[in-house]
A and B are shown apart, each in its own frame.
Chain A
Amino acid sequence: MQWMVWTLPTAIFFSSIASILAGMTVWQVISPTVERKGFLPIATTRGDRLFIGLLSSAYIHLGVVGFTDLSLWLALGFCVLWMAILMRWG
């Protein structure tokens, strides 16, 4: 594992992704998702919205890091909010 040069932040990042996936699976077993149409142009399931949310969050982070001087934590906070909106009304 030495060659993979793990760091604490990336380890936290990947474990949170893994636990989100695990959590989504459990949620799906308890109450299966229904495909619906929200403000996004396509009908989506819960998993679709999660994916779209994660991908757009990645882009938001890149934008903040690359082209502004704002703090990353601000971007993270904004993305959490965005994810919540997307999951609920997307």
Chain B
Amino acid sequence: MNKVENNKAWFLVLPMLLLVAFSAIIPLMTVVNYSVQDILGRSAFFVGSEWFVQTLNDSRLQSALMRQFAFSFTILAIQVPLGIAIALLMPKKGWQASAVLILITLPLLVPWNVVGSMWQIFTRGDIGLMGYGIRQLGYPYNITRNASDAWITIIIMDVWHWTPLIALLCYSGLRAIPEAYYQAAQIDRASKWAVFRYIQLPKLTNVLVIGVLLRFMHSFMIYAEPFVLTGGGPGSSTTFLSQTLATMAIGQQDLGPSAAFSIIYFLIILAVSYVFYVTIMNMQKDKADNISGGA
């Protein structure tokens, strides 16, 4: 769509800008201020880049960061294919479509701490269906003792919680494919795989980029669910970035180092999302060019 050049549009944006800036910029500036000072109660000393040196070389934070990346890539590797598969399986019309849609959306509507509690109840060895069931099969399943049990459980929980997002995105992408495409494929006797590869997947890339972006961001923010389920343990095997930060800032009152680390964290997120953003924008531009070129 050709947009009109008009700087008066700023007036339409202004109220939104002020509200978001109030919540975003003032705290961000404060975090930057914290990061260069040693704050003890009411007094603060300027320490320059000391906290940055310390946090960049802190092995605890480095391992939390590594764990975070491992977690984010694992869940993306499971959720994206699974989400696509579910979207392909979902009924396309009728009351079944609505019913399945509502059922699949359910996990997204559960408050994040309740997700943690729900899975805590579900996976406990004494009262939980999953924990009790696995123990009956003979495996001594225990998420408070065994780090790999805790890891796998958190990944299953996240798959349960967030695969619906990818599935619904893909479902809406699939519904936007005109019926004529499928008819043409049927005339050409295209195999199911060919239909998926050359008709459905190209249509999905657009929504998938959004899905991967949203999932990546949210997986970086994960806090309440593992906090309630495992408390970050056993040891620190399931302590992800947000929890590490929250413990530093509130638990130990290490304002300076946690602020310095917040800024590093923020810069990582900023760089990754800029790459995604540029990709999305270029894809939209290509699409627009194709349409105008075709017409």
Per the CB under 8 Å rule, do A and B touch in the complex? yes
- Residue A4 CB within 8 A of the other chain: yes
Instruction: Name the prevailing secondary structure of the B interface residues.
Output: helix
Within 8 A of A (CB), among B36-56: 36-37, 39, 44, 46, 48-49, 52-53, 56
Contact of A14 with B29 at beta-carbon distance under 8 Å, contacts A66-B53, A66-B57 already known: yes
Contact A55 B49 (CB under 8 A): no
Closest residue on chain A to residue B281 by CB atoms: A42
- Residue B267 CB within 8 A of the other chain: yes
Within 8 A of A (CB), among B1-52: 26, 29-30, 32-34, 36-37, 39, 44, 46, 48-49, 52
- Residue B247 CB within 8 A of the other chain: no
- Residue A39 CB within 8 A of the other chain: no
Residue of B32, B53, B56, B282 near A42 (CB, 8 A) is: B282
Closest residue on chain A to residue B264 by CB atoms: A62
Specify which chain B residues have a CB less than 8 angstroms from the CB of A6 in the assembled complex.
Answer: 33
- Residue B160 CB within 8 A of the other chain: no
Contact of A55 with B267 at beta-carbon distance under 8 Å, contacts A7-B36, A9-B46, A42-B282 already known: yes
Specify which chain B residues have a CB less than 8 angstroms from the CB of A9 in the assembled complex.
Answer: 36, 46, 48
CA distance A83 to B18 in the complex (A): 29
Closest residue on chain A to residue B266 by CB atoms: A58
Contact B267 A65 (CB under 8 A): no
CA distance A4 to B32 in the complex (A): 10
Within 8 A of B (CB), among A1-58: 3-7, 9-10, 13-14, 42, 51-52, 55, 58
CA distance A68 to B49 in the complex (A): 12
Specify which chain A residues have a CB less than 8 angstroms from the CB of B36 in the assembled complex.
Answer: 7, 9-10
Contact of A67 with B56 at beta-carbon distance under 8 Å, contacts A4-B26, A7-B36, A9-B36 already known: yes
- Residue B89 CB within 8 A of the other chain: no
Closest residue on chain B to residue A32 by CB atoms: B5
CA distance A65 to B267 in the complex (A): 15
- Residue A89 CB within 8 A of the other chain: no
Interface-lining segment among B100-108, B141-149, B192-200, B270-278: B270-278
CA distance A51 to B273 in the complex (A): 13
Closest residue on chain B to residue A28 by CB atoms: B7
Contact A65 B53 (CB under 8 A): yes
Residue of A7, A52, A59 near B33 (CB, 8 A) is: A7
Specify which chain B residues have a CB less than 8 angstroms from the CB of A72 in the assembled complex.
Answer: 48-49
Contact B37 A7 (CB under 8 A): yes
Residue of A7, A13, A51, A65 near B49 (CB, 8 A) is: A65
CA distance A54 to B27 in the complex (A): 20
Closest residue on chain A to residue B7 by CB atoms: A29
Specify which chain B residues have a CB less than 8 angstroms from the CB of A13 in the assembled complex.
Answer: 32
CA distance A3 to B282 in the complex (A): 42
Give A73 Cβ to nearest chain B Cβ, in Å. 12
Contact B278 A10 (CB under 8 A): no
Mind listing 8 A-B residue pairs with CB under 8 Å?
A4-B29, A7-B33, A7-B36, A42-B282, A55-B271, A58-B267, A66-B56, A67-B56
List residues of chain B with CB under 8 Å of any chain A CB.
26, 29-30, 32-34, 36-37, 39, 44, 46, 48-49, 52-53, 56-57, 264, 267, 270-271, 274, 278, 282
| Ranked 6 nearest A-B pairs via Cβ | A66-B56, A65-B49, A65-B52, A4-B30, A5-B33, A10-B33
